[in-house]
Structures are given as structure tokens and as C-alpha cells.
């Protein structure tokens, strides 16, 4: 049993839509549960806090950047 061109087009569009929906849901779940992403988010918050804290307590932002350079080994 061969598919007509219209049937093939319907199958392709349906497969494309299903693939898009599944990929979207998998990526959303991965973003919520990925431990690497959570670690990166925590590191980002720490760096921002160091820069802001260094700026407030040090009187200038150079202190914050010096601390970050020391922490990151740059």
C-alpha cells in the first residue's frame, strides 16, 4: 500500500509537530533538573555578589574585579 503525496505530506507535518513538542518538553525538563546548570547559576550569583559587595564595601569596583580574578585564576 503506497501513500499518496497528500498522505506523505500529512505524515511529515505530523512527525515534525510531534518532534517539536517532545523536544520542547524534554528541554524544559532538562533546564529544571540539570545539576550542571544549577551549579553555573550558583557561580554566577556568587560572582555578582562579590562584585557588588566589593563595590559597596571597597568604595570602587576594582576590588570586586581583583577578587574575581583571584577566584577564577585569571
DSSP letters spanning 13-48: HHHHHHHHHHHHHHHHHHHHH-HHHHHHHHHHHHHH
For the entire predicted model, the pTM comes to 0.45
Q: How confident is the model at residue 18 (pLDDT cuts 50, 70, 90)?
A: very high
**Judging by beta carbons within 10 Å of its beta carbon (0-12, 13-18, 19+), is residue 51 exposed, middle or buried?**
middle
Helix (H) or strand (E) holding 3: none
C-alpha cell at 73: 585564576
Residue scoring higher pLDDT (66 or 2): 2
Q: Rounded CA gap, 13 and 37, in Å?
A: 33
pLDDT of residue 70: 74
pLDDT of residue 48: 77
Q: What is the pLDDT of residues 21-69, one digit of tens each?
A: 999 999 888 878 877 766 677 777 777 777 777 666 665 556 666 766 7
C-alpha cell at 17: 509537530
In the chain, where the domains are located: 1-33, 35-74
Amino acid at each position: 500500500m503506497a501513500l499518496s503525496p497528500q498522505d506523505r505530506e500529512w505524515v511529515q507535518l505530523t512527525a515534525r509537530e510531534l518532534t517539536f513538542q517532545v523536544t520542547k518538553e524534554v528541554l524544559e525538563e532538562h533546564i529544571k533538573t540539570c545539576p550542571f546548570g544549577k551549579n553555573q547559576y550558583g557561580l554566577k550569583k556568587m560572582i555578582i555578589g562579590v562584585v557588588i559587595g566589593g563595590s559597596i564595601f571597597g568604595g570602587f569596583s576594582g576590588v570586586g574585579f581583583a577578587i574575581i580574578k583571584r577566584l577564577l585564576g585569571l
